[in-house]
């Protein structure tokens, strides 16, 4: 879907962001910048600093051949804003328009054809940025406003899944404004319904940020308070003895057809559970089995479940869907979905598609094509 024969599509890579996963984004975006098909696409880089300011980062092409694994935190580059209104070029093609804010570049604008939000966490993959993209009527990769918001909110995702008869691990919900008396009543309810240990999870964080394993009744209220540092809504989940099985999912261009589900992987943490440190700071934080050692019958049932989750939660473009396989009962549960999963060369999402026959660069091309197709529709 090139602009005109021989003309490259201008791809804006957004990275950084205001969330606690800022540094992870720098690595994902670096891989995308390096692996984008230069025969068809021309990258532009837009850095969002930790205060939420957009910068026209202008990362040089030479970075693609460098040994650097992270795009720079380009705080000294010019500030820009994405105009939240539709714009079309002289040929009637929709464009994302970034205009400079500094006096030195007064009146200057930059235009791109499609945006790749290589961002993670709150204010990035929760529908907020996607709403801005929709206001500008620009093509962008990944889920839309609704799917992004649902995918980010673990409690809402579970509620919708339950309504669609998709099994989830039993849970309760707490709010930061709950009184001490209400929290104590919740602790009693959790102890009676689940027993300890349980998992306490900030509802709208990623990468295991704000997640705690609570082993005793005495730990419950202090860990609940810690989780409230990250979100006003917190989930309390029953701890089950489970295997963690992950799938990568790619939307079919014809939405009437099933999404494409990758080969599964099993994550075997070497820590007590798959913490942020295990994911990003400890090279031996987990063992990955690709493909996961499951039976053909389990694979078929899990694949059907993943397809149903993708459609039920209004996901688009691509996502990673994580399931639990209960070691005791053999039951499957939806754990969570990730609408903007990590995209480094060793991240699970691209790695699973690599094993499934779609190399990294080809995968990026498919995501961009899906974004342009949705925008056209």
In a domain, 284, yes or no: yes
Does 162 lie in the same domain as 264? yes
Does 225 lie in the same domain as 269? no
Strand partners, 248: 320
Does 234 lie in the same domain as 286? no
Distance of alpha carbon 271 from alpha carbon 284, whole angstroms: 9
In a domain, 361, yes or no: no
pLDDT in tens, the chain (377 residues): 445 556 899 999 999 998 878 888 999 999 999 999 999 999 999 999 999 999 999 999 999 999 999 999 999 999 999 999 999 888 888 999 999 998 888 889 999 999 999 998 888 899 999 999 999 999 999 999 999 999 999 999 999 999 999 999 999 999 999 999 999 999 999 999 999 999 999 998 765 677 999 999 999 999 999 999 999 999 999 999 999 999 999 999 998 899 999 999 999 877 565 555 545 554 556 788 999 999 999 999 999 999 999 999 999 999 999 999 999 999 999 999 999 998 987 789 999 999 999 999 999 999 999 999 999 98
> Which CATH number characterizes residue 68's domain?
3.40.50.20
Does 158 lie in the same domain as 305? yes
Q: Which of 218, 238, 258 delimits the end of a domain?
A: 238
**Contact criterion met (CB below 8 Å) for 226 and 259:** no
Does 294 lie in the same domain as 159? yes
SS3 94: strand
In a domain, 250, yes or no: yes
> Which CATH number characterizes residue 316's domain?
3.30.470.20
Distance of alpha carbon 330 from alpha carbon 340, whole angstroms: 29
In a domain, 352, yes or no: no
Domain tally, the chain: 3
**Contact criterion met (CB below 8 Å) for 97 and 83:** yes
Does 206 lie in the same domain as 185? yes
In a domain, 275, yes or no: yes
In a domain, 365, yes or no: no
Residue 226 has what pLDDT?
94
**Contact criterion met (CB below 8 Å) for 147 and 311:** no
Does 306 lie in the same domain as 253? yes
Does 231 lie in the same domain as 256? no
The full 3-state SS of 278-345, as one line of letters, equals HHHCCCCCEEEECCCCCCHHHHHHHHHHHHHHHHHCCCCCEEEEEEEEECCCCCEEEEEEECCCCCCC
Does 130 lie in the same domain as 35? yes
Does 286 lie in the same domain as 195? no
Does 97 lie in the same domain as 17? yes
Distance of alpha carbon 48 from alpha carbon 71, whole angstroms: 12
Q: Which of 238, 254, 271 delimits the end of a domain?
A: 238
Q: Which of 238, 268, 290 delimits the end of a domain?
A: 238
In a domain, 360, yes or no: no
Domain of residue 308: give its range. 151-167+241-339
In a domain, 253, yes or no: yes
Does 311 lie in the same domain as 283? yes
**Contact criterion met (CB below 8 Å) for 169 and 157:** no
């Amino acid at each position: 879907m090139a602009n005109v024969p021989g003309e490259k599509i201008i791809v804006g890579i957004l990275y950084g962001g205001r969330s606690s996963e800022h540094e992870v984004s720098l690595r994902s975006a670096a891989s995308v910048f390096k692996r984008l098909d230069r025969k068809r696409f021309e990258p532009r880089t837009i850095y969002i600093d930790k205060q939420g300011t957009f910068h026209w980062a202008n990362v040089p092409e030479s970075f693609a051949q460098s040994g650097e694994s992270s795009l720079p935190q380009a705080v000294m580059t010019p500030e820009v804003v994405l105009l939240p209104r539709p714009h079309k070029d002289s040929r009637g093609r929709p464009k994302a328009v970034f205009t400079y804010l500094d006096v030195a570049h007064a009146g200057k604008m930059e235009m791109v054809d499609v945006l790749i939000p290589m961002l993670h966490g709150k204010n990035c993959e929760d529908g907020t940025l996607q709403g801005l993209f929709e206001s500008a009527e620009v093509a962008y990769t990944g889920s839309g406003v609704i799917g992004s918001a649902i995918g980010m909110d673990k409690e809402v995702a579970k509620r919708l899944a339950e309504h669609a008869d998709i099994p989830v691990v039993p849970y309760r919900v707490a709010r930061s404004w709950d009184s001490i008396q209400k929290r104590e009543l919740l602790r009693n309810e959790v102890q009676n319904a689940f027993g300890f240990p349980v998992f306490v999870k900030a509802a709208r964080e990623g990468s295991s940020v704000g997640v705690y394993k609570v082993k005793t009744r005495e730990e419950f209220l202090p860990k609940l308070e810690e989780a409230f540092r990250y979100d006003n809504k917190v989930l309390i989940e029953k701890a089950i003895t489970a295997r963690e099985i992950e799938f990568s999912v790619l939307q079919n261009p014809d939405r009437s057809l099933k999404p494409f589900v990758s080969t599964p992987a099993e994550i075997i943490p070497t820590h007590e559970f798959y913490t942020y440190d295990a994911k990003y700071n400890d090279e031996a934080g987990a063992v990955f089995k690709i493909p996961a050692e499951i039976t053909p019958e389990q694979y078929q049932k899990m694949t059907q479940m993943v397809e149903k989750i993708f459609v039920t939660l209004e996901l688009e473009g691509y996502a990673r869907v994580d399931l639990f396989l209960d070691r005791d009962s053999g039951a499957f549960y939806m754990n969570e979905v990730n609408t903007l999963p990590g995209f480094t060369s060793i991240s699970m999402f691209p790695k699973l598609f690599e094993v499934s026959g779609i190399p990294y660069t080809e995968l990026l091309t498919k995501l961009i094509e899906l974004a342009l197709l949705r925008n056209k529709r």
